[in-house]
Structure 1
Amino acid sequence: MPQPVSWKRRLKNFLFIDLKTVAGEPSLLSVDPRLQRQWEEKSRYFKHDDELSPAGWYDRRASFFAEFGKIICIGVGGLFFDDDDKPHLKVKLLSNDDEVPLLTEFLAIVDRYPPGELTLCAHNGKEFDFPYLCRRLMANGLPLPPALQISGKKPWDIPHRDTLEYWQFGDKRHFVPLDLLAAVLNVPTRPLEWTGDRTSEVYYREHDWPRIEKYARDSMVMLVQVYLKMVGAPLVADEHIVMSD
């Protein structure tokens, strides 16, 4: 197993992120008519055991698509080490009903890192979190930071890490939720309360921010611990996990 001092160096300028997304509107009836027509066309190609109307599909799946969804919470996490080289994790949750100030706050965090030196890490980040962030930044007229200027780049020119990609071992069809991966790897974290497709329901029907933020915090901790387990680094002790204001 690598020595802790080597992990201190390898995890410098390393930021874990996790998005919580919801449908852009409470229901399909609230969506701009132009986008409604686009959703109705798109939903015709969805395949599932349940036969749902376009409105039903919107409630269930619009949050997965940046063209029809929005980000309500971004978890960010960074590792640091004490004098005994024990890892500590600092987690910050950015949450807002209004996506523009939320994304602006995220950009302010990213801008603290030297240009070209930031590495992001997420679960399914290369197919979801990173492109979703880019699309929502562009849709809101916000600039793409250097770390997210990834369009058109070759895979080996993008430094970001993806725990799902590690687990796939080249099998791009194989999807494993983060919660299942933590269980398979025997990572001692709390099971997540729900899966991402239920976030819209909790947000629009209950608007329960404490519950959403607890879900986001648990996801962030699980992501970090899974990554550390996969690369053979020591896990973070519970007492060394800090929530940042």
Structure 2
Amino acid sequence: MLKDLKLNNVFVIDIETVPQKENFNELPTDLQYLWEQKTAYQRKDGQTAEDFYEKAGILAEFGKIVCISVGVFHLERKQIHFRVRSFCHTDEQIILKQFANLLNKQSKNLQLCAHNGKEFDFPYLCRRMLVNGINIPLQLQLHGKKPWEVNHLDTMDLWKFGDHKNYTSLNLLAAIFELPTPKSDIDGSKVKQVYYQDKNLNRLAKYCENDVITTAQILLRFKGLPTIPQENITLVK
């Protein structure tokens, strides 16, 4: 599986997102109404739009990106190494510009890899770039491309093997491949609290980086290669 994939041409990424405002009542009135409309069929009986606002980070129209982590493979002394860096800031536009600048310096054939990236990370990045007035880098553009021209890898999609009903979390894949859990500190439900209440971007960066490392290790297992030992993983500050 993936025998022709060149690891040095892959960027493994993950994003962390939160609601655009900490509380529902901070939204402009028109957006409160639109949020209520957008989520009408997702809310449980008796659940108000305000109650459901905890989920706003997953929708690009009502959320924002607070961290992007990127990992790259490289060969050193015939061993695979992995370097990870993060873009974190309270200003989403700064993060997106930094990430777009990084992609614009790379080959147009660069492959982006993420877990559930096709359904979440890649479209979310594109939508938030448009909102922030940033040109979408070639590696993220889909319009006018044939399916085989899209250089996107998705570890969840690869695991489906054509089964469209199957959703498998990164944490579950880590468990069955006997990899360390990426959720040892926090999970997705705590990201909003860590950002707005704790104001701890470093903790969010570490959480995001753990997801990138786990996704990279799973990609290696899909490719039939051993995982990377901890001493060969570098976190770039």
What amino acid maps onto 2:68 in structure 1?
Answer: I
Equivalent residue, structure 1, for 2:130: 138
Equivalent residue, structure 2, for 1:123: 115
Q: How far apart are residue 196 of structure 1 and its match? A: 2.0
DSSP 3-state at the match of 2:136: coil
CA distance in 2, matches of 1:25, 1:236: 39
**Pairs within 5 Å for 1:1-245:** 10-48=6-44, 51-59=46-54, 61-83=55-77, 85-114=78-107, 116-245=108-237
Q: How far apart are residue 165 of structure 1 and its match? A: 0.3
Q: How far apart are residue 190 of structure 1 and its match? A: 5.0
Q: How far apart are residue 30 of structure 1 and its match? A: 1.1
Output one character per residue of 1:62-96: Cα deviation in whole Å (capped at 9) or x when no partner.
Answer: 1101000000000000000112x211110001100
DSSP 3-state at the match of 1:71: strand
Normalising by structure 1, what TM-score?
A: 0.90
Residue 9 of structure 2 contacts residue 111 of structure 2 at CA under 8 Å; is this kept in 1? yes
Output one character per residue of 1:173-215: Cα deviation in whole Å (capped at 9) or x when no partner.
Answer: 2111101111012224554433323311221121122321221
What amino acid maps onto 1:43 in structure 2?
Answer: T
Q: How far apart are residue 109 of structure 1 and its match? A: 1.1
In structure 1, list runs of 5 or more residues that go unmatched: none
* Cα pair distance change 1:47/1:168, threshold 3 Å: farther
Residue 17 of structure 1 contacts residue 75 of structure 1 at CA under 8 Å; is this kept in 2? yes
Residue 192 of structure 1 contacts residue 218 of structure 1 at CA under 8 Å; is this kept in 2? no
DSSP 3-state at the match of 1:223: helix
Residue 87 of structure 1 contacts residue 234 of structure 1 at CA under 8 Å; is this kept in 2? no
What amino acid maps onto 2:65 in structure 1?
Answer: I
DSSP 3-state at the match of 2:8: coil
Aligned length: 237
Residue 122 of structure 1 contacts residue 129 of structure 1 at CA under 8 Å; is this kept in 2? yes
Output one character per residue of 1:36-63: Cα deviation in whole Å (capped at 9) or x when no partner.
Answer: 1110112211145x8422111112x111
Normalising by structure 2, what TM-score?
A: 0.93
Residue 22 of structure 1 contacts residue 70 of structure 1 at CA under 8 Å; is this kept in 2? yes
**Relative to structure 2, which stretch is displaced further, 199-208 or 11-20?**
199-208
Q: How far apart are residue 229 of structure 1 and its match? A: 1.1
In structure 2, list runs of 5 or more residues that go unmatched: none
